[in-house]
Structures are given as structure tokens and as C-alpha cells.
Amino acid sequence: MQRFARLFAQLDQTNKTSEKIRALSEYFRDVDPASAAWALYFLSGHKLQRVVPSGLLRQWAIEVADIQQWLFDECYEAVGDLAETISLIVPRSEGRPVDGTLVQWVEQRLMPLRQLTVSEQRQRILTSWQTLDQVACLVFVKLLTGSFRVGVSQKLVVRGIANASGIDAEVLAHRLMGNWQPSAAFYQALVHPDAGDAMLSRPYPFFLANPLEGTPSDLGDVSLWQAEWKWDGIRAQLIRRGAQTFIWSRGEELMQDRFPELESLAQYLPDGTILDGEIIGRRDGIILPFAHMQRRIGSKQLTRKILQEVPVAYLVFDLLEWQGNDLRAEPLSTRRSQLEQVMAELSRTRAAIQPDHEKQWQLSEHDLSDTQDRAQGRAGGTSATMHFLLPDTLKAGSWEELIALRSRSRDEHAEGLMLKRLNSPYRVGRPRGDWWKWKIEPYTVDAVLIYAQRGHGKRASLYTDYTFGVWDGDVLVPFAKAYSGLTDQEIAQVDRFIRQHTLERFGPVRSVQPELVFELAFENIQLSSRHKSGIAVRFPRILRQREDKPISQADSLATIRAMLGAASS
């Protein structure tokens, strides 16, 4: 546990990637496989189920430290993190801190707490607090409360393990796809040179695009690139292996039985096929707002009603495996050509054999009309089936022509363009240079800060999570929440204002005197019965503070509804 705590401190105290990888490599080279598996589990963002309420931990810390409630609250206010506050105020036992491996602490101390009475939990937790040093105690409480976070991504952790084990990082990333449980056997298989990688359902690591900044002409000749519309859906790999179909989201969630329309048609794909694409809501050829997809994903049961209201299509834009052959090293132009043949054959096969159970997924014939779709601002493309579409590649002789096409994105219900280098292989993660997302300029509004809440991690002592309002008549109505976009200096200034101009407190939330105006940006806008304003926006963030504007000049709901009308037309 002390060793894992030291790794936590090393990662927390540096922003240098090389130093983080060095610390990770040393840790995974030194520790036993079971502890390595648990460390990977926690560093990848997984959590244990909370077994003790935070209120009890707070109460026990006050008792063992022999301080008053108000003093604990003042300490917590200053520190901003419950685990750190407890680790700083609890007294330590004399002598050297008690040690033990991470797996021993997790499996012999943390997990058994679920079966204990409150009194027994209290005794064991207090003993742990008092026998660990301050950093290890902090880590212990974070694991106990499910609040463990540190500034590393899973990709960085994988690089550390790759350095320690000698196994290629891409191989490790592939083996980590999907659901896994920490154990010595799992970790040994992960780093074994001959570990079996033929698990039927396992997807490939996703290749992600970087945002394009600056002018596209910096990318060289336009003929070297493939351009596509960028749709707002669920990025997914569809796998056909062993006469079974598996659909994985980019977040490594197996979406089994969530899209029966797609699974019904995937049975016509040859064994050993993996497709990459975007699942979208699509009815009568028109792409539905992402909120409709959220309704479908959030439904506990896929009723006929929800299937009819939110039918889906799979926009297939890449072929990663064909008849069991890994195509990722092939250039995009080759993969695209093969994909076109696959989709054409899928159409012919399905047309020749159309079982009765598939008829329930049919749409009207005009849904297949590429010409009509484009003429009406719909998601056009070459249709392999009514639910599998091969999106068009956009033809342009110059960057100027592509700029003109991009300006029509909202008419096409798209977020902008994707630019993919024709000779690019299918990589892992987000390397720069080959795939770019060239999104259109966002919507913007001027809104008033009305509520604030503390952030998390290093920002736990600062008010960084904001709620903004716009005018509905003479009342400011909550419109959007945002927490990104300000510099550290700007956050500190806003934090001081919030503390000095708090009107009321509602648990962790403070209502703030309405004086500060900010320009917010967001991607999409739609009606929502779940929001007080009746409007929902996608990816809101702060662009800047409008010190030049009084709150009377902030935008109104009427202005935003006009944006919604323009977006829907």
C-alpha cells in the first residue's frame, strides 16, 4: 500500500509525461501481479462500490481527532477534499507505518468491510487511518469512498506497463478492451508474450481524430485526403465472429441487445468481419438529435414504441478486419475500396434472403434514396441495407470547395467534416497527423453566472463548476452548466467573487449575486422537458468573461429559441 501511495504522489507531483511513464514503469516492474492488476484497475478509472457513507467517515474523523464539527468544516473548506482532510487531521500511531501489498489492503481490508457491522467498520477503518502514513491514508480513504483520481490516462498507464513488460503498447491496449476483473491471472495473461488474443467479442482499440486548428491548406494537397460529414452519434465497432455479433462503444461498453436492427442484418456478414462507424438515430431518412439516442440508450427495455420512435442506422466508414484478416495496417484508400465491396455484397445477400423476422425493421423505400436524402438535407450515402449505410465521401477539387461544403454542415444535420489521409493506417488512440475533425463554429450566447459548486481533484478547493442563466422576461432561468474554458488565474478571480457574493447555500451549491456575464459556446441545441429552460445544449463550455456587458444585456430564452428554430429548419 505504501508503494502504491508513493506512485500516487509521484504521478500527482509532476506534469511531465516522461516522469509519469518512468514512475509507472518502475512500479509495475517491482510489484506482484495481483497488486499490479489492482493498480491498473484504479489508475484506469475503475472504482470499488462505496461501503461506508462519507458522513460516517467525517464523524469518525472528528471523534478520533478530538475536534469540534466547526473546526473540521473549516479544515475541509480550506483543503476542499474529504480524503485529504481526514489524512491530515487523524493522529498517527507511534513507530513505523504498517505496510502490506495493495492486493492485501484491497481484498483483506477494504472489500470485507461490506460484511461488517457499523461498529466493526469503525474500528477497522480507524486502525487503518492511524497505522498508515499521511499519503497512504489519503489514498486509502479515496479508494474507500470511490473518489480516487490521479492525472494519468489509461493510455499513459499502458505505456508504463509496456516499458516494464516489453509487450507492445498496442497489444496491451487490445487486450484491455472490454470487461475485465483485477487478478494475478489476468495481469499475467496481459503481459504474457503468448497470451491468447482470440477472444471472440474483443474489439480493436479505436482510432480517434484530433481537432483541426488553423487552415486546412496546411495539410497539403486536397487530393491526399478523404472528406466525410461528421455525424453526432455513438461511435461503435461491430464485430461478427463465431456466428455471433458484438457491438462495442468507444467507451469500451459492450452494447449487446441494444440495437436488434443492426444485429439482425449483421448475420449476413462473413465470419471474421469488424466494422467501425457511427450509430445514429434516423427516421424517414432524417438524422434525429442525439437526445433521442439518449432516450433509447437509457430505456431499461427496448419496447416496440421506443424502437419505432428512435430507429437507428449504422454509418459504416471503416473496415478493420475481413474474413479474419487484420486490415488496420492497410492504407485507408484500400480499406475503403474493400468496404465498398463488402457493403455491395451485403446488399445483394440480404436482398436474396430476407427472412420474415427481419421485416419488422424495414423502412419505406424512399429511405434508401441517396438523391432524395441529399436534396432534403438528410444523411445520404450508399445503402447496403436500410440500417447499414456507407456514407458519401465528399468530392472537392480544392480546399476552398471543402470550406464551402463545411459551411453547409448544419443544413446536413452534421457537426462539420472529417478529414482522413488516404494513405493512413488505422492507428490506436489519438496520434496527430492522419485524422482530423473539422467542426463548424459553435453556437454562442451571453449568460449570467447564478450558481457555483466546487470542482474535483486539484480544483476541489475552488469553485469551478458553474451554472449560467439567461433572461425569461425579468427572471434569470438556469440554462447550462459549464466548467471548462477559463485559465487558472481567471478561475481564482471568479472563485474570490463567488465567496464574496454568495447569496444562499444549498449543500455544496452556492447561489451567487448575478453580476458576471460569460460567453458560452455549445455544439447543438434542442427542446427538452427535463430542463427548466425547456432547452438542452450539447458540450457547453466557457469562451470568455464579458466584462464589457452588464447582466441586462445577457441573452434571453427567446433568442435561444430562435437559434433552435434556425437549427430545425
Taking only the tens place, the pLDDT of each residue in 121-177 is: 999 999 999 889 999 999 999 999 888 888 888 889 999 999 999 988 878 877 887
pLDDT digits (tens, 9 = 90+) for 70-85: 999 888 877 778 889 9
Give the pLDDT confidence score for residue 203 in this predicted structure.
Answer: 87
pLDDT value at 322 more than 90? yes
- Does residue 218 contact residue 444 with C-beta atoms inside 8 Å? no
Q: What torsion do the CA atoms of 443, 444, 448, 453 make, to the nearest 10 degrees?
A: 60
* pLDDT above 90 as % of the chain: 51
CA distances to 61, 90, 142 from 84, rounded to whole Å, are 12, 10, 9
**Whole-model pTM?**
0.61
Across the range 284-295, mean pLDDT stands at 81
Across the range 22-42, mean pLDDT stands at 95
Residues contacting residue 146 through CB under 8 Å, at least 6 positions apart: 47, 48, 49, 50
Range from 246-260, 324-338, 380-394, 553-567 carrying the lowest mean pLDDT: 380-394
Query: Is 2-145 assigned to CATH 1.10.3260.10?
Result: yes
φ, ψ for residue 129, nearest 5 deg: -55, -40
pLDDT value at 357 more than 50? no
pLDDT value at 451 more than 90? yes
- Does residue 262 contact residue 314 with C-beta atoms inside 8 Å? yes
Give the pLDDT confidence score for residue 566 in this predicted structure.
Answer: 55
Cα distance from N-terminal residue to C-terminal residue, the chain: 59
Mean pLDDT rounded to a whole number for the chain: 85
Across the range 246-252, mean pLDDT stands at 85
Class of domain 443-568: mainly beta
pLDDT value at 363 more than 60? no
- Does residue 379 contact residue 391 with C-beta atoms inside 8 Å? yes
Give the pLDDT confidence score for residue 292 in this predicted structure.
Answer: 81
Per-residue three-class SS string for 127-191: HHHHHCCHHHHHHHHHHHHCCCCCCCCHHHHHHHHHHHHCCCHHHHHHHCCCCCCCCHHHHHHHC
Give the pLDDT confidence score for residue 384 in this predicted structure.
Answer: 46
Which residues make up the CATH 1.10.3260.10 domain(s) of the chain? 2-145
pLDDT value at 102 more than 90? yes
CATH of domain 210-439: 3.30.470.30
d(CA 84, CA 5): 13
